[in-house]
Structure 1
């Protein structure tokens, strides 16, 4: 029975988690939580600067900036994840991402480090049914006493509600 359970768990794990073991993740914070995104998706880190507001845009879309000739939407991840808003300060960071031939920036509270996670440090995301969409989660990274929420930024940015960003920059 144990061997069958281990085989099932191993099969379920490999199907649920993309091959991310050994990849480097940029770790950023939103409130007390730490999130990770594939470092290869990161173009640059910037301080928060004024944006041009777009009328009738969703509230998480702060606006757009002209980044060396490329109109780049800026998304506030606190608002996107329905967290309490806090004023931007000197620690607020905009992570400029490159994904699927697009560029977008995400506003986060801060960036802490870049880490590499092994396969045994990455756990599958919890199954929440229809209560909570978790399709943009790669998994949870366990690093000592830290729990890192690993995001699939391509899936997050192309999700239904953020898909609007692709239309604004097309």
Structure 2
């Protein structure tokens, strides 16, 4: 390295140090609203909040669970972990898709578990303004209101993940031995 190269390197380092030490400019405020992943289920567009979302993947196969509710599609193996998959079509009163139709599963996190939700297509992430949403009891759209957190003016339906996770079909069942003698 020559003397000129060393002087240039020193000058660049001083400029960089000065820039890094200077106060940051005011950044634009983050857009208000709730971020959610939009998906298609049947002919409707639904959304699930990103704060409960853990994973999205193609749904290859599920194994049925005998004696379970029809809301539970079955279970799937994700890297050696068995996870339940909810049949949103059935839960929302929509017709089931064709058996050979491509499906995806979005996993949401609940207390101590992850649950999959079968969807037809993953679309995009979008911000929702809660103040601009219609509440389910005001909509009168025929959907099971328990699972709906709100509906936008362009009819995207925000699902209530807490109500989905509270489904009876997802509660662990213990055998009842009380009648055994």
TM range (shorter): 0.7 to 0.9
Is 1:149 aligned with 2:157? yes
Is 1:25 aligned with 2:30? no
Match of 1:163 in 2: 168
More strand by share: 1
Match of 1:85 in 2: 96
TM-aligned CA deviation for residue 111 of structure 1: 1.3
The whole-number CA distance in structure 2 between the counterparts of 1:43 and 1:132 is 26
Q: TM-score, normalised by structure 1?
A: 0.72
Structure 1, unpaired ranges of 5+: 1-20
Provide closer, same or farther for how the CA distance between residues 50 and 132 of structure 1 changes in structure 2, counting only shifts above 3 A: closer
Q: Matches of residues 40-59 of structure 1 in structure 2 within 5 Å?
A: 40-59=51-70
TM-aligned CA deviation for residue 133 of structure 1: 4.7
Provide closer, same or farther for how the CA distance between residues 120 and 154 of structure 1 changes in structure 2, counting only shifts above 3 A: closer
* 1:46/1:94 contact within 8 Å kept: yes
User: In the comparison of the two structures, how many residue pairs are matched?
Assistant: 142
Match of 1:100 in 2: 111
Task: Note the alpha carbon deviations across 1:106-137, whole angstroms, 9 max, x for none.
Answer: 111111111012244322223489x8752332
Is 1:111 aligned with 2:122? yes
* 1:27/1:37 contact within 8 Å kept: yes
Provide closer, same or farther for how the CA distance between residues 52 and 27 of structure 1 changes in structure 2, counting only shifts above 3 A: same
TM-aligned CA deviation for residue 51 of structure 1: 1.7
The whole-number CA distance in structure 2 between the counterparts of 1:88 and 1:42 is 26
